Amino acid sequence: MPDKKSIKNTFIFQSNFTELEKLDECLNSIEGYLELSEDKQYEIMLVLSEAVANAIEHANELNSSKKVKIVIALSTEGIIAEIYDEGPGFDPAKLVNPLEKKAILRDHGRGWYLMQHYSSSIEWDNELKCLRVRF
């Protein structure tokens, strides 16, 4: 992984699920990413694919004229990814816990739970209107 300074990489996706196919190639193009363990690469891919899919579907409402931007910074301290979309934002506190009995069979609602589990931290920055994920 690169020393001291973080190197920022920016990727833009149209709000179309086929755009998710580009994520793996984007991540592999980041200097130092392929030096991470396969497990860590899997976790990052899982979390960011969930985040981009949520931005495409829920924030941008599958409007292909709207964009999702990911800014990823790798440093010796770790990885920070910021996901920006063109939606109004959301309140994570209002999300239903997918482990509750009433939600267990729903076909949506597990993404936030997975992202929390596989990242060091995840937060919604209401001021910048971005999702910030740390690994």
Q: Is 57 inside a domain boundary?
A: yes
Q: Is 2 inside a domain boundary?
A: no
Instruction: Give the Cα separation of 46 and 114 in Å (integer).
Output: 8
Q: Is 18 inside a domain boundary?
A: yes
pLDDT-based confidence at residue 95 (cuts at 50, 70, 90): low
Contacts of 105 (CB under 8 A, 6+ apart): none
Which CATH number does the domain housing residue 96 bear?
3.30.565.10
Tell me the per-residue pLDDT of 4-49, one tens digit each, with 9 for 90 and over: 567 899 999 999 999 999 999 999 999 999 999 999 999 999 999 9
Handedness of CA 99, 103, 107, 111 (dihedral sign): negative
Q: Is 82 inside a domain boundary?
A: yes
Q: Is 109 inside a domain boundary?
A: yes
Q: Is 1 inside a domain boundary?
A: no
**What is the extent of the structural domain holding 75?**
7-134
Q: Is 124 inside a domain boundary?
A: yes
